[in-house]
Amino acid sequence: MSNLTQNLPDDPARLKAMIAVLQAENAKISATLRVHDQLVQALRLRIAKLQKLAFGKSSEKIEREIEQLELALEDLLVAVAEEDGAPIDEGHNEPSPEAADAPALRRRPRVSDATPRERRELDPGTCCADCGGDLRVVGEDVSELLDMIAAQMKVIQIARIKKSCRRCERMVQEPAPSRPIPGSMAGPN
């Protein structure tokens, strides 16, 4: 306790200013924590409601939505744990009804560079479909798809090669393959 009092300023005005700064920082951290708690509670409430409906007419759709919400909850818990450095709390308390109005976070998952990657190229060919001229490479669009294979993940890079015809200058590229969940990075596995 004596070390703490030795570092305090003698001037009461400076002491009050330090206290005000610390209180403002504490209020900011408390507000962030409340928002995270509300998001966790909202996701838990939504999961609980969907689990009650799981045996209805469209149970397969509901099961997929439950899985997606559980993944979102897990991502949120990991993000909170990374910020706080505290262990992840996965308590299953009943959430409050007010938490259902909390905004949902949407972000791309971070995939480690150490995760194995497999590159698949979709090549439109060597001849132009319109005039039969030779095609040349002018670029490519690369998207990533996260796939789970035998309890191991790898990133499959889908490169769609862009080519242009030397004769008619037409641009050619294979269409992007469809995804199981539109707009997501998840693969079918």
Reported confidence tier of residue 4, pLDDT bands at 50, 70, 90? low
**Does any domain span residue 51?**
yes
**Does any domain span residue 180?**
no
**Does any domain span residue 1?**
no
β-partners of residue 164 are 136, 171
Statement to judge: residues 64 and 126 lie in one domain: no
Range of the domain at 25: 12-84
Statement to judge: residues 78 and 130 lie in one domain: no
Q: Taking the complete model, does pTM exceed 0.85, yes or no?
A: no
Q: Are 112 and 149 in contact (CB under 8 A)?
A: no
Statement to judge: residues 133 and 79 lie in one domain: no
Statement to judge: residues 80 and 121 lie in one domain: no
Domain boundary among 84, 104, 135: 84
Three-state DSSP class for 130?
A: coil
What is the torsional sign of CA 142, 181, 174, 118? positive
pLDDT of residue 56: 59
Which residue did the predictor score with more confidence, 124 or 90? 124
Statement to judge: residues 21 and 67 lie in one domain: yes
70-96 confidence digits (pLDDT tens): 777 777 777 777 666 544 445 444 444
**Does any domain span residue 182?**
no
| Helix residue ranges, H only, 53-176 | 59-84
**Does any domain span residue 159?**
yes
**Does any domain span residue 95?**
no
pLDDT of residue 141: 86
Count of domains in the chain?
Answer: 2
Statement to judge: residues 127 and 76 lie in one domain: no
**Does any domain span residue 4?**
no
pLDDT of residue 33: 86
Quote the mean pLDDT of the chain: 76
